[in-house]
């Protein structure tokens, strides 16, 4: 559904450039590079992690465009779901004002598209299609939590809930507060939390989920030989299947020959990312998700 806006010649953006702006992959605290201690001494903003599909909204010329986590152009099903939220005019007005009035460049509104029904990892149930913003990218960097919150409040766009802020000098203190934030997420029916550190134009984002093992608290013993990796959590398998749905749409998702190879590919990516293995049979999981949809 096109949304017309007025544009000036010197406000035109480089569509190829902005299409390449992707939301960063988030790792847990224990997997931060070069080590978890890099987080110490820095102020962290802790936000809820919603269970939906990552979407990036931007404005190339006259019409809103949407990218998914992996594709420059999201599927028709994803775009239609966004239109059904009723928030497209609000997001359009915000992006247009940022570009035209405040002369900001390369603006992308990042948010979680919450489609009606059970969420990808089954942690949430959505009565209707909805969209909630978690970040805004502009002028080559991510805006701070305060800036994004002000924009969303002024344009009546939902924004993720903030749970708290913290600063730590020891890993013990950091992990204790992390657990406190996860308990809050659990009480609110969320799948986890996202921590954000803002240092000028640089940012460091990380995620912690309720279903991931707290390996940072487990005893360590190093053995020789081939490693026995933990099983990939079911939520990550379902998340991989949701990425397939976002990339190819609901209709093609029902085509086993097209969907299953891509599903297996994304599960392999998640295994590599989380250093896990997956022995679960994927077809029953795929079939069950189709029945839910």
* Tens digit of each residue's pLDDT (9 = 90 or more) over 251-261: 899 999 999 99
221, pLDDT greater than 70? no
Return the percentage of the chain with pLDDT > 70, whole number.
Answer: 89
- pTM for the whole structure: 0.74
169 to each of 33, 182, 203, how far by Cα in Å?
A: 18, 20, 19
- Rounded distance between C-alpha atoms, residue 25 and residue 31, angstroms: 12
Supply the pLDDT for residue 225. 59
In a domain, 31, yes or no: no
Domain containing residue 123: 50-170
* Tens digit of each residue's pLDDT (9 = 90 or more) over 103-112: 999 999 999 9
In a domain, 271, yes or no: no
Q: What is the CATH number of the domain that holds 80?
A: 3.30.470.30
In a domain, 95, yes or no: yes
Q: At what angle do helices 76-84 and 234-253 cross, to 10 degrees?
A: 100
128 to each of 115, 155, 158, 237, 292, how far by Cα in Å?
A: 7, 21, 14, 24, 15
- Rounded distance between C-alpha atoms, residue 219 and residue 201, angstroms: 37
In a domain, 65, yes or no: yes
- Rounded distance between C-alpha atoms, residue 285 and residue 288, angstroms: 5
In a domain, 265, yes or no: no
In a domain, 288, yes or no: no
Among 279, 121, 94, which residue's Cα sits nearest to residue 212? 121
In a domain, 274, yes or no: no
Looking at the structure of the chain, the number of domains it has is 1
In a domain, 63, yes or no: yes
Q: Are 18 and 106 in contact (CB under 8 A)?
A: yes
Among 197, 281, 166, 170, which residue's Cα sits nearest to residue 234? 281
Supply the pLDDT for residue 216. 61
DSSP E strand stretches across 127-285: 130-138, 141-142, 162-166, 192-199, 202-209
């Amino acid at each position: 559904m096109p949304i017309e806006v007025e544009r000036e010649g010197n406000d035109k953006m480089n569509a190829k450039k902005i299409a390449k702006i992707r939301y960063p992959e988030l790792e847990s605290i224990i997997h931060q590079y070069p080590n978890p201690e890099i987080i110490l001494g820095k102020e962290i903003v802790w936000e809820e992690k919603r269970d939906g599909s990552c979407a990036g909204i931007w404005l190339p010329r006259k019409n809103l465009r949407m990218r998914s986590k992996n594709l420059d152009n999201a599927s028709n099903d994803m775009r239609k779901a966004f239109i059904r939220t009723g928030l497209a005019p609000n997001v359009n007005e915000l992006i247009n004002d940022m570009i035209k009035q405040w002369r900001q460049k390369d603006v992308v509104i990042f948010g979680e598209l919450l489609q009606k029904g059970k969420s990808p990892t089954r942690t949430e149930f959505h009565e209707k299609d909805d969209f909630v913003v978690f970040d805004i990218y502009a002028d080559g960097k991510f805006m701070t939590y305060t800036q994004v919150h002000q924009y969303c409040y002024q344009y009546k766009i939902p924004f993720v809930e903030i749970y708290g802020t913290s600063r730590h000098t020891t890993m013990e203190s950091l992990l204790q507060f992390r657990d406190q934030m996860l308990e809050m997420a659990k009480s609110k029916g969320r799948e986890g939390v996202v921590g954000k550190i803002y240092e000028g134009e640089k940012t460091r984002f990380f995620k912690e989920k309720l279903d991931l093992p707290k390996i940072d608290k487990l005893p360590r013993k190093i053995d020789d030989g081939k490693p026995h990796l933990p099983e990939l959590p079911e939520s990550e398998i379902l998340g991989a299947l949701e990425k397939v749905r976002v990339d190819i749409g609901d209709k093609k998702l029902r085509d086993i020959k097209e969907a299953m190879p891509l599903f297996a590919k994304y599960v392999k990516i998640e295994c590599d990312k989380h250093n896990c293995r997956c022995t679960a049979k994927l077809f029953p999981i795929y079939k069950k998700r189709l029945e839910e949809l």
